Structure 1
């Protein structure tokens, strides 16, 4: 195939890939763009000066950033937050340690227009929120690239491929280092044996040469990631752990070159190789530790079906899950997992909901029943109507919540990051000071260091100070424990929207609980019913009014009426829900006469001037048409199994338990005394609940609120941490910080115990890392540690932190 020369870079390319423009030829769009830029700016004389010489074509790395600002990219990857800002999930390529995460977050947070930047250390996934009026996404991508990393939109398949490739590259670099270091160690055995048996200068020179040949690829190939990290850290005026590792190894390498080419003393090529190797091996083991912590998330994500069978005009079509719309009819075979939330179209079905609720027995469904994504069809082929797209589905919401929680950080981590900011600079300063004191003040503690001279001793001690310091253990202390804690909580059916709630929950002193659906099962049963007027038309109106409310009491009475009467719904209008009292509506008969319908508690009737005497220790529902009571119902709610033991255990943790309910005084007192709660407040509306929470906070109480209804949503939003039970209303879920998938009080107790355990291990990790540096740095400054041991101990400090964090899983 004929080859053509590019009119910009003068390199030759196959004719079929050339970009033709009139009489001009370009090898790529980059060359075409630069050519016109020079032309428009009057700089086309550049080509006269270039003559026939060729130049490298412009890098394409930045020419693709415009796609991040396109409408198609926004539709696929960008979301809008409630505050009106833009949000995107990115994969940051090139991150290999906690310091890399810190560097990227610092640079992004310092960029005007970026509201939030949280990076998940385990998956390199970044959650970025920005103000599009101040900055474009393409500018954010360029900012990330300017510090030596790359970013692209998060896509599960691409992310896994790149992560595998990155891990393979890391493994190859590590194995090169391990192979070379093992051979250097064999040469070192010969060299150190020669000290005792005698060795000629010529043989020693050959040994030094062999060590140089083996150490060089270790330093410049295996250790390249540390040089890269150090360069971009310095470029942004940050001294990071990469700088400490690379500078320690480089100084040892330069000094060893001096010895190799005629200087007196011993070379330290073996220390160079071992510093890089030990740190790389430590990092690799750290990656393995992190991987085991995110297995829960991987397991959930891997179980998501990628396609669905959609029925259109009785024709089956296999579509990607992202292409299925609300209202589509989906067919599901026995054993298959639902990808969407929906309503059952078939007459009946049986679903395994253990992944959502923890309930091992299959749940029977009837036509119209809700189907939840992530649950498994047990018996036969069924069809259901999609009510939520995959993006809004329960299963995807769980994955998103879990990923977001792994990306967020507790307050204590921000404090640790503040400590580690100046750590590297302090260590470098201590290293220089150590060298000056040892060399210029003539300190000699009698350590032989294999016959090293005074300068050599001073140099080795200074290098040891640099190498032994470990800011990585400090930076790793909180995220690795939080990661494992969040993972363990997820296994128990607890989804934390942000990791910071672990710390808040651990410090909590007050737990406020709703009654219905939280302490009780929320499945009220009609204990006693009195139908004062059995006119079927009036009962139909009662049934219609009940059908207009989603309150647990209304649902229970509705179920009772449906079971005992054959009823149908009528047309009502002006339906109004009255907080903590009931529902009011109007009905017009065929003659045009208006009737006022009331359904609720005794307060509702009294507010509408109906004086009706009715006393009961249970929850009640009264139905009246105009001023006449038609029916009364007394309902009782069963207390959840283990509720009394739960309250007792929570009190042992040092928390005060308060029950807050809109139910009547007698029912509230009965439930509270049954489970051992002394402090309760009854007959409060949603605003009064919220004010009660605010009053506690005004007394400097750390308040946790657990509830499940719409009437709890305001109070949940007011609390320090809000917990929604698994059967909660959508609005309660949206304002909650923690979601209990299985609706169990045992899970609620685990939320407190695992959070406290995780927070305890975070503090332990910080103590370990600070104690390690407090002990080892003075030892290194005093000359008790050689660089080789320093590198090994630095890696071990990080692994100790990871290993200690893994103990969170050992809780019985």
Structure 2
């Protein structure tokens, strides 16, 4: 059978398996696909550069590629964004440096239909958003595979397996390199001793052969990951760190072969081996450092049980969490963890909520109270009704937020990536110019190398320039510090939805605080009650109206009535409407068909409904009326959080202006502000007014951080630069927030400012360290003051220095 050559990989194959396309011949569908991708992307000049050389065929496509487009896969892994696009978290397999991240992002960004693609270097996790009408997920996976990487949907257990697998692969390659390095160093002792004292030429040749034997597997097995990364970088016209390492080592290897086969000079097999070994050890320690920073996420994940006991028609059955539906009845025994959120329907007892809030004391729960996933039942048999599915439950939401934040990037990282894009090309240019200056102009700033030819000296200096340069330190500076910062914040009950908010908080100059539930405990207590009509029917209507509202005042009055009266019942009220910053109105129709107009709120609500009722108080008030007749009045006071004054003093010392926004009257607002040290107060303001005030501050150039807890804060929070929701906030408030304080503690908010500034400071330190390293070491290498062996060690140490410096974030956290 005749042999033909593939138009992509240039390998010869039997004509019987050929894929014919006009004048083109392909050995497989993979080569055919890559050929068209390169042509469509304008990268077909690659074949001119390739010449007659052959390359490996692309990664084979799985037969089940279409499974990525199935309904079951979509339900399990794909989310829908607010704009109606599809979103998925993928793990990109094969990434081992920042340039790999840049390559994948570049290719994905240029693919039609992909809205955004953010890949985090620390965990190889990609968040991809795409328009499903323009491109399918299977096509995105194929695109990633076409450039030499692989992708699969993020799954915690699978991801952990892949991390272990990658770590094992690095370890084996590293140990091969270390074993060879130890042996080649022993030969090196003999060689360099003979270099100064004299050595028999035949023994010298034997040493060169021994070095060749140890060096070759290190270069082509241990160093294969660098060749692979360099190949796919060149394939997409990108010069990356892998190219610097592999080109420097290969050039020295080729020169050493020339010496081995009769050329004059010294071989550098030992330097080749040590370059690969040092870089691999550095990369392995880098992986270890990143893994330790992700341990916080692993600890939180371990709080989620694998299955739950569901009671259906009196029969108990253990089922997987994904199969639990809203309305199911779950039973938990003493010592078991709550698997999904719910409401107690039977039993009472204490629960350990420290995994969520950091609160060390057990919390007593009874029938009707809410349970949160991840908390522990301490002492009794409890049955509860499921109110949220596993995906929507508290602990899973926390894990999702953390994972998303670890996949995001601060603005400063994008700037660093811009700087590093042309780094490799600049280094190669400097290396070439160094060789020209040393060789052709005879300029020599370095040490006097005895018994070394002028060409060899120029060549070695040029290689040192390539090897010593480290784009990885620059690219690693931001993500490793952000990862550690987010992990430390999570330990204190602070969930950052995106890493970029660390930078924003560090730069903030204005803190806006809601009063009720933020500065105060939000646990208003009735100090004075005046019930003018104690008819049980009217009390039930008041109780029903209070039950329809989530406002702290309504909750407190409702709790007061529950304690005072045992026989209250909820009535079917309708047309319930919340009047912003004033109260709630509703209607009730009795069995005779008569309609009652119910009203509950402050004096402004009464006036708006033409009810003339004078009621002056220095506290918060709640007035209930039926058909414009006042039935009851309540005066309430809220306790200020113990840590509020400490927070406000701390942020003011750091130059932030603190503003309190509240819907309460000026008298109440001023009293609270004076107690905690807030100088600027805006009172009697509705939710739209709060939002307008935030917009006004931003127009003045302020960077605004706002913390709030109620639905009435949601519009203002959405307009701030950083929105912080207290852990007990309404769901809508949490959904528009950027940071969630799980324990609702203002001490945690203070810590958020402290650690954000600290993390941002270390990010800038890391960038400065990497820039100083390269600006000092590259000129030294160009001057011939650094040999390749030391250059390789320096490059590895620069990345480790960035990792070690980032670890210092933990010291005061």
Normalising by structure 1, what TM-score? 0.93
1:709 aligned onto 2:710: yes
Greater mean alpha carbon deviation, residues 797-806 or residues 558-567 = 558-567
The CA deviation at 1:40 is 14
**Matches of 1:370 and 1:201, distance apart in 2:** 84
**Matches of 2:420 and 2:322, distance apart in 1:** 43
The CA deviation at 1:415 is 0.2
From the superposition, tell whether residues 143 and 623 of structure 1 become closer, same or farther in structure 2 (CA, over 3 Å).
same
| Secondary structure of 1:294 counterpart | helix
Decide whether the 8 Å contact of 2:300 with 2:355 is kept in 1: no
The CA deviation at 1:39 is 13
1:214 aligned onto 2:211: no
| Secondary structure of 2:391 counterpart | helix
**Matches of 1:452 and 1:59, distance apart in 2:** 45
| Secondary structure of 2:122 counterpart | coil
Decide whether the 8 Å contact of 1:122 with 1:294 is kept in 2: no
Number of residue pairs matched? 772
| Secondary structure of 1:87 counterpart | strand
1:547 aligned onto 2:526: no
From the superposition, tell whether residues 471 and 640 of structure 1 become closer, same or farther in structure 2 (CA, over 3 Å).
same
The CA deviation at 1:61 is 2.3
Q: Residue 289 of structure 1 corresponds to which residue in structure 2?
A: 289
Decide whether the 8 Å contact of 1:253 with 1:268 is kept in 2: yes
Q: Residue 745 of structure 2 corresponds to which residue in structure 1?
A: 744
| Secondary structure of 2:640 counterpart | coil
**Matches of 1:58 and 1:356, distance apart in 2:** 46
1:385 aligned onto 2:389: no
**Matches of 1:326 and 1:37, distance apart in 2:** 53
1:337-736, aligned counterparts within 5 Å?
Answer: 337-445=337-445, 447-565=447-565, 566-736=567-737
From the superposition, tell whether residues 516 and 196 of structure 1 become closer, same or farther in structure 2 (CA, over 3 Å).
same
Cα offsets for 1:57-97 (capped at 9, x unmatched): 99752533222112222122111111111111111111122
The CA deviation at 1:435 is 0.3
Decide whether the 8 Å contact of 1:526 with 1:635 is kept in 2: yes
Cα offsets for 1:741-781 (capped at 9, x unmatched): 00000000011000000000000000000000000000000
Q: Residue 51 of structure 2 corresponds to which residue in structure 1?
A: none
Greater mean alpha carbon deviation, residues 34-43 or residues 747-756 = 34-43
Decide whether the 8 Å contact of 2:444 with 2:783 is kept in 1: no
| Secondary structure of 1:481 counterpart | helix
The CA deviation at 1:38 is 7.4
From the superposition, tell whether residues 528 and 205 of structure 1 become closer, same or farther in structure 2 (CA, over 3 Å).
same
**Matches of 2:533 and 2:466, distance apart in 1:** 89
1:771 aligned onto 2:775: no
**Matches of 2:276 and 2:515, distance apart in 1:** 59
| Secondary structure of 1:632 counterpart | strand
The CA deviation at 1:112 is 2.0
Cα offsets for 1:484-511 (capped at 9, x unmatched): 0000000010000000000000000000
The CA deviation at 1:123 is 2.4
The CA deviation at 1:658 is 0.3
Cα offsets for 1:391-430 (capped at 9, x unmatched): 1110000000001101100000000000000000000000
1:133-152, aligned counterparts within 5 Å?
Answer: 133-152=133-152
1:169 aligned onto 2:179: no
The answer for unaligned runs of 5 or more in structure 1 is 1-6, 10-33, 47-55
Decide whether the 8 Å contact of 2:59 with 2:145 is kept in 1: no
Decide whether the 8 Å contact of 2:167 with 2:287 is kept in 1: no
The CA deviation at 1:173 is 0.3
RMSD: 2.2
Q: Residue 102 of structure 2 corresponds to which residue in structure 1?
A: 102
From the superposition, tell whether residues 517 and 244 of structure 1 become closer, same or farther in structure 2 (CA, over 3 Å).
same
Greater mean alpha carbon deviation, residues 346-355 or residues 504-513 = 346-355
The CA deviation at 1:311 is 1.0
Greater mean alpha carbon deviation, residues 658-667 or residues 475-484 = 658-667
The CA deviation at 1:122 is 2.8
Decide whether the 8 Å contact of 2:446 with 2:785 is kept in 1: no
Cα offsets for 1:599-619 (capped at 9, x unmatched): 000000001111111000100
**Matches of 1:303 and 1:580, distance apart in 2:** 39
From the superposition, tell whether residues 259 and 737 of structure 1 become closer, same or farther in structure 2 (CA, over 3 Å).
same
The CA deviation at 1:381 is 2.2
1:272 aligned onto 2:272: yes
Decide whether the 8 Å contact of 1:62 with 1:142 is kept in 2: no
**Matches of 1:592 and 1:303, distance apart in 2:** 53
Decide whether the 8 Å contact of 1:105 with 1:119 is kept in 2: yes
The CA deviation at 1:303 is 2.7
1:756 aligned onto 2:757: yes
Q: Residue 66 of structure 2 corresponds to which residue in structure 1?
A: 66
1:214-253, aligned counterparts within 5 Å?
Answer: 214-253=214-253
Decide whether the 8 Å contact of 1:518 with 1:707 is kept in 2: yes
**Matches of 2:715 and 2:206, distance apart in 1:** 78
The CA deviation at 1:330 is 1.1
Decide whether the 8 Å contact of 1:583 with 1:598 is kept in 2: yes
Decide whether the 8 Å contact of 2:524 with 2:636 is kept in 1: yes
The CA deviation at 1:449 is 3.1
From the superposition, tell whether residues 450 and 325 of structure 1 become closer, same or farther in structure 2 (CA, over 3 Å).
farther
Structure 1: 4+ residue segments shifted above 4 A:
34-44, 56-60
| Secondary structure of 2:79 counterpart | strand
Cα offsets for 1:218-269 (capped at 9, x unmatched): 0000000000000001111110000000000000000000000010000000
The answer for unaligned runs of 5 or more in structure 2 is 4-15, 29-55
| Secondary structure of 1:283 counterpart | helix
The CA deviation at 1:99 is 2.4
Q: Residue 51 of structure 1 corresponds to which residue in structure 2?
A: none
Decide whether the 8 Å contact of 2:511 with 2:658 is kept in 1: yes
Cα offsets for 1:419-459 (capped at 9, x unmatched): 00000000000000000110000123462335211000000
Greater mean alpha carbon deviation, residues 448-457 or residues 253-262 = 448-457
The CA deviation at 1:733 is 0.2
Cα offsets for 1:713-756 (capped at 9, x unmatched): 00000000100011000000000000000000000001100000
The CA deviation at 1:591 is 3.4
| Secondary structure of 2:162 counterpart | helix
Q: Residue 199 of structure 2 corresponds to which residue in structure 1?
A: 199
Q: Residue 262 of structure 1 corresponds to which residue in structure 2?
A: 262
1:69-148, aligned counterparts within 5 Å?
Answer: 69-148=69-148
Greater mean alpha carbon deviation, residues 107-116 or residues 322-331 = 107-116
Q: Residue 796 of structure 2 corresponds to which residue in structure 1?
A: 795
**Matches of 1:729 and 1:122, distance apart in 2:** 33
From the superposition, tell whether residues 271 and 450 of structure 1 become closer, same or farther in structure 2 (CA, over 3 Å).
farther
| Secondary structure of 1:498 counterpart | coil
Q: Residue 184 of structure 1 corresponds to which residue in structure 2?
A: 184
**Matches of 1:436 and 1:112, distance apart in 2:** 44
**Matches of 1:689 and 1:263, distance apart in 2:** 80
The CA deviation at 1:626 is 1.6
From the superposition, tell whether residues 251 and 614 of structure 1 become closer, same or farther in structure 2 (CA, over 3 Å).
same
**Matches of 1:715 and 1:679, distance apart in 2:** 17
**Matches of 1:573 and 1:192, distance apart in 2:** 94
Decide whether the 8 Å contact of 1:307 with 1:320 is kept in 2: yes
**Matches of 2:653 and 2:21, distance apart in 1:** 78
Q: Residue 47 of structure 2 corresponds to which residue in structure 1?
A: none
Decide whether the 8 Å contact of 1:506 with 1:756 is kept in 2: yes
